[in-house]
Amino acid sequence: MSKPNSRRPTRAAKKLSQNCGTAAPGRAPKSTVEGGCATNKGRSEIVPKPRRPTLVVGITGASGAPYAVRLVECVVRAGRRVHLIISLAGRLVLADEMGLGGSAARPDLSSLWPREVLAHVTYTPAETLSAPPASGTFDAQAMVILPCSMNTLAALAGGLASNLLQRAAYVALKEGRPLVVVPREMPLTTIDFQNMARLAAAGAVVMPAMPGFYHHPQSVADLVDFVVAKVLARLGIPHDLAVQWPGAERP
């Protein structure tokens, strides 16, 4: 008696069976990415989009709100996300100096930034201690406090973490992440100098808001850009702000 005509599986078929598994009769094979191949024709492998790096930006009650508004805009346009933390005093100063709408409890950030910028901004009030930046597991590239009040400066120098902004800064220091602090006050006391020195010794970068004039500023906005550009450069974030010293070679 002759045996039924049967074909031995080819090497390619064996390899496919080992990698992706065999399909049940009458059913299409399951597409898989984990096995290194996709058996469904016409379907392409899904490649996740790269995530934008996150910069934590803290705003306190010191004068200098225009610096903060410009910084957030430039950071987002440079391809980063911003986790924004604003203290109560910071929200009051933003309302006074930049026309922040809404209320202190429910600020209207659309009065400061356009929709395309806010699409990459996550806002948390400093009173919310349970937010992600309070943990060292939060995936943040760095943190900037701009402007930084003398009250916040003293708290950071003393290792305090009584609100989310202070806690996030403490996390940046303990995790070895860049922390840029931009104090804005004058004149300064010996206490202020000591607090800055303690923070610098702990690993923070202290950059007082001291705009230069060698780029021949024509407006207040030019002075704001000078300070913001210094912060961006310290963090390695690209920008196109025209604040270079005239004698420096332009790229």
The band of 248, judged by pLDDT with boundaries at 50, 70 and 90, is low
Would you call 122 helix, strand, or coil by DSSP?
A: strand
> Would the pLDDT of 231 be above 50?
yes
> Would the pLDDT of 130 be above 90?
yes
pLDDT at residue number 8: 53
In the chain, what are the domain boundaries?
54-235
Q: Specify the CATH superfamily of domain 54-235.
A: Flavin prenyltransferase-like (3.40.50.1950)
The band of 149, judged by pLDDT with boundaries at 50, 70 and 90, is very high
Q: Which residues contact 180 (CB under 8 A, 6 or more apart)?
A: 142, 143, 144, 145, 146, 204, 205, 207, 231, 234, 235
Q: What is the dihedral of CA 94, 79, 226, 194, to 10 degrees?
A: 70
Other beta carbons within 10 Å of 67: 25
Rounded-to-integer distance, Cα 230 and Cα 123, Å: 24
| pLDDT over 90, % of the chain | 74
pLDDT at residue number 14: 44
Q: Which residues contact 142 (CB under 8 A, 6 or more apart)?
A: 55, 56, 172, 177, 178, 179, 180, 235
pLDDT at residue number 51: 79
* Contact by Cβ (8 Å): 148, 184: yes
